[in-house]
Amino acid sequence: MKEIITCNPLFGIGITIFSYWIGSVLGRKTGKAVFNPLLIAEILIIAVLLIFDIPFSAYSEGGAFINMFLGPVTALLACSIYRTRKLVGMHFIPILAGTIAGSIASIVTIILLSELLGLETTLKASLIPKSVTTPIAIAISEMLGGVRSLTVTSLLLTGVLGNILAPFMIKLFRVHDRVAQGVAIGTASHVVGTSKALELGEDIGAISSIALSFSGIVTAIIAAAFL
pLDDT tens per residue across span 141-183: 999 999 988 998 899 899 989 988 999 999 999 999 999 999 9
Residues 210 and 113 reside in one and the same domain = yes
Q: What's residue 6's pLDDT?
A: 63
Residues 56 and 107 reside in one and the same domain = no
Residues 27 and 121 reside in one and the same domain = no
Q: By three-state DSSP, how is residue 176 classified?
A: coil
Q: 57 pLDDT exceeds 90? A: no
Q: pLDDT by residue (tens digit) across 62-93?
A: 767 777 776 676 677 667 677 778 888 889 89
* DSSP conformation class of 147: -
Q: 5 pLDDT exceeds 70? A: no
Residue where a domain terminates, one of 47, 67, 87: 67
Residue where a domain terminates, one of 13, 35, 67: 67
Q: What's residue 115's pLDDT?
A: 92
* DSSP conformation class of 7: T
Residues 62 and 140 reside in one and the same domain = no
Residues 97 and 177 reside in one and the same domain = yes
User: Which domain covers residue 57, as residue numbers?
Assistant: 2-67
Residues 120 and 63 reside in one and the same domain = no
CB under 8 A, 24+ apart: contacts of 38-42: 38/156, 38/159, 38/160, 38/163, 38/192, 39/160, 39/164, 41/16, 42/156, 42/160
Range 18-41 average pLDDT: 86
Number of CB atoms found within 10 A of residue 41's CB:
20
Residues 214 and 118 reside in one and the same domain = yes
pTM above 0.85, yes or no: no
Q: What's residue 80's pLDDT?
A: 67
Residues 54 and 101 reside in one and the same domain = no
Residues 137 and 154 reside in one and the same domain = yes
Q: Tell me the helix, strand and coil percentages in the chain, rounded to 5.
A: 85, 0, 15
Whole-angstrom distance, CA of residue 75 vs CA of residue 77: 5
Looking at the 3D structure of the chain, how many domains does it have?
Answer: 2
Alpha carbon 181 to its chain centroid, in Å, reads: 16
Residues 84 and 187 reside in one and the same domain = yes
Contact 218, 103 (CB under 8 A): yes
Residues 45 and 89 reside in one and the same domain = no
Residue where a domain terminates, one of 43, 67, 91: 67
Residues 45 and 87 reside in one and the same domain = no
Element (H, E) at 96: helix 92-117
| Sign of the alpha-carbon dihedral angle for 153, 144, 102, 75 | negative
* DSSP conformation class of 118: T
